[in-house]
Amino acid sequence: MRKPLSGSGAVLVAAVIGLGAVPTACTRPEEPAAPFPDLAVTTVMEDLANPWDVVVAPDGAVLTGERAGRFVVKRSDNSVGEVTADLSDLYARGETGLMGIALDRGFAANRTLYTCQGHRGGENNDIRVVSWTVDPGWTTMTRTGDVVTGMPVGDNGRHGGCRILAHPDGTLYIGTGDSARPTVPQDRNSLGGKVLHVDRDGSPAVGNPDPNSPVFTLGHRNVQGLALQPGSGRIYDIEQGTSRDDEVNLLAAGNNYGYRPDRRPDIYDESVPMTDPVRVPGAVAAVWSSGAPTIATPGGTFVSGAGWGDWDGALAVTSQQCEKLVLLKLSADGTGVIDTSTALAGRYGRLRSATSMPDGSLLITTDNGSGDTVLRVTPSVE
């Protein structure tokens, strides 16, 4: 039986937390050149199971969704509870289920939000972006339609993606997985292994390479993170690698990021490079790669605020396998990394989503399967 919901905001760790130690395969030997801030961590919600994403509404409500199919909210009055929603057609298996959540840019007025979720349709299972409205009291969500349908879902739910970025211009970017099928990442007629760019109604957004297609970029394996860099407008994806090379990619319309696992007919060959310029001419190299072994990177966001000190503006990437937060200081042109650091290592288990708060803190979800939490991470540089 599930434990009762709780989430009073009690302090989980009273002491500040600096750099942590993790198993050797998950560490980098170099020390960061820039001083790293101490981090204070508190619990926002607990007693969760695989909370995939977390968003913060203008009224201060914090909403998360469990992959198996449940919405949980902490309201501005600190009450915590389930939000009723029709998830009767949810396909939740393996890596697929209730995944990305994004608030519409007009949420304060229209109460609209979007989810990326598996859809059970007999022999025609797929992954869809669904639109919802929610009442002011955060008790009930009402489905208002499907925005995008037909994103492929793999056997046992493997490589389902699926992150939503609500852009300030009102459009949606959607990162998808390749469903572990060999031809999907390079197939321009498939929505898998892509980053899609659509208007609120699901139609292709202006600026796509093909004005009749939602495909913005291709050649991806499993895009689970999307992050918009403040100020520059650059969009980055965070992508899960094979046995090596999780990636951060700088996205631009029409780019092909070079994953092509069809070297052998009808076999999903994961021994190929994540970026293969030989078999994919013109493939765009990653801004950052994890190397070997993979650390499993499912999410990320940019940090901001004086509390982050010299790391203000860095990209914070979560790691499941290495159970840590990776900070990447990007070059001025956004195409490389000039410094790295880690935090929270080995302290809370697998980390999935990272969401920036207006005050500069982060909300991070853990992904351990039971007893999961939404954490608030607050930096402090003296």
Q: CA of 206: how far to CAs of 137, 202, 215, in Å?
A: 35, 12, 11
CA distance 319 to 361: 18
- pLDDT tops 60 at residue 308: yes
The whole-number average pLDDT for the span 157-165 is: 96
Reference 101, options 64, 148, 155; nearest CA is: 64
The whole-number average pLDDT for the span 178-206 is: 98
Q: List all residues 6 or more positions away from 21 whose beta carbon is below 8 Å from its beta carbon.
A: 27, 345, 346
Residue 4: band (very low, low, confident or very high) from pLDDT cuts 50, 70, 90: very low
CA distance 54 to 297: 16
The whole-number average pLDDT for the span 305-310 is: 95
- pLDDT tops 70 at residue 30: no
**Domains in the chain with CATH codes:** 13-28+46-291+329-346 (2.120.10.30)
Q: Are 73 and 136 in contact (CB under 8 A)?
A: no
Least confident of 29-33, 238-242, 297-301, 370-374: 29-33
Residue 122: band (very low, low, confident or very high) from pLDDT cuts 50, 70, 90: confident
CA distance 277 to 100: 30
pLDDT tens, position by position, 324-381: 999 999 999 999 999 999 999 999 999 999 999 999 999 999 999 999 999 999 998 6
Question: Does a cis peptide bond (omega within 30 degrees of 0) precede residue 293?
Answer: yes
Name, of 6-10, 14-18, 188-192, the range with top average pLDDT.
188-192
Q: Quickly list H helices, 54-211.
A: 107-110
Separation of first and last alpha carbons in the chain: 45
pLDDT tens, position by position, 38-97: 999 999 999 999 999 999 999 999 999 999 999 999 999 999 999 999 999 999 999 999
What secondary structure letter does DSSP report for 29?
S
Instruction: Indicate the pTM of the whole model.
Output: 0.93
Reference 129, options 214, 252, 61; nearest CA is: 214
Sign of the four-CA dihedral 125, 297, 234, 180:
negative
| Mean per-residue pLDDT of the chain | 92
Strand partners, 172: 166, 198
- pLDDT tops 50 at residue 313: yes
